[in-house]
Amino acid sequence: MGWVQVLHEDEDLLVVHKPAGLVCHPTKGDAASSLIGRVRLHLGLEAEPQMVHRLDRETSGVMVFGKTDEASAELRRLWLAGFVTKEYLAIVHGHPLTEEGEIDGRLGKHVESGVSIRDQVRADGAWARTRYRVVRRLEREEGAFAVVRLWLDTGRKHQIRIHLAHVGHPVVGDKIYGGDDSLYLDFVQRRLSAEQKGQLLLANQALHAHRLWLPWEGRERGFESRPEETFEAFVRGDRVPWLEDPYDPLRPSEGLAGSAGEG
């Protein structure tokens, strides 16, 4: 396997699967500790790929990079003009009452939270809308769950996760919006208890950027990425063990020799 899992590559574009747990931007010197670093290793250290969009650390899925200045500028124009369509998959707690619908909720800072990056639905926030459709309803020994397909009419920070939690169906494994502040605070301090892990069920939040479409060179191009194995195992009803995070920035670096890493 290479430094990245390539979904498509040509002279202008590189489309990859971002694994859950890998940050997009560097957090330490190791070139393999971030997605952009791994993309540079894949293309050659003299390359200057440009990241025109991003995913949260624990979100997996499709990401597109421009390989040239011209391609990157065109990608940014398409994003700003709203010509890029993204479709997500999520596993949520509970069974939504309707098979499909829209979640409207203005988003702004959660002023009462001890987690500085946490936002919430609030009347004076920025307008946001998420559309969803139920794909499958699940019953596991831990309770009721559903797989939902989602589309964003706006692209606010943590929008999907906030909206789903707001309507009572938080994403499985979400440490910020799936419970109280202690889940995230204890996670960043590497002190999650067995009880907290049991509450989260999955080591990474079950949110996946499944498909992406954009107009390119006169035709629509579509790219798709398969969900992580832990996501699919949970949907199958399998027991999913809590695995050590291979991308934890506090783990000792193994350098660039040896194994090429995890896709």
Report the catalytic residues: 56
| Spatial separation of the C-alpha atoms in residues 92 and 161, rounded to whole Å | 10
Beta strands 119-121 and 5-9: pairing type?
unpaired
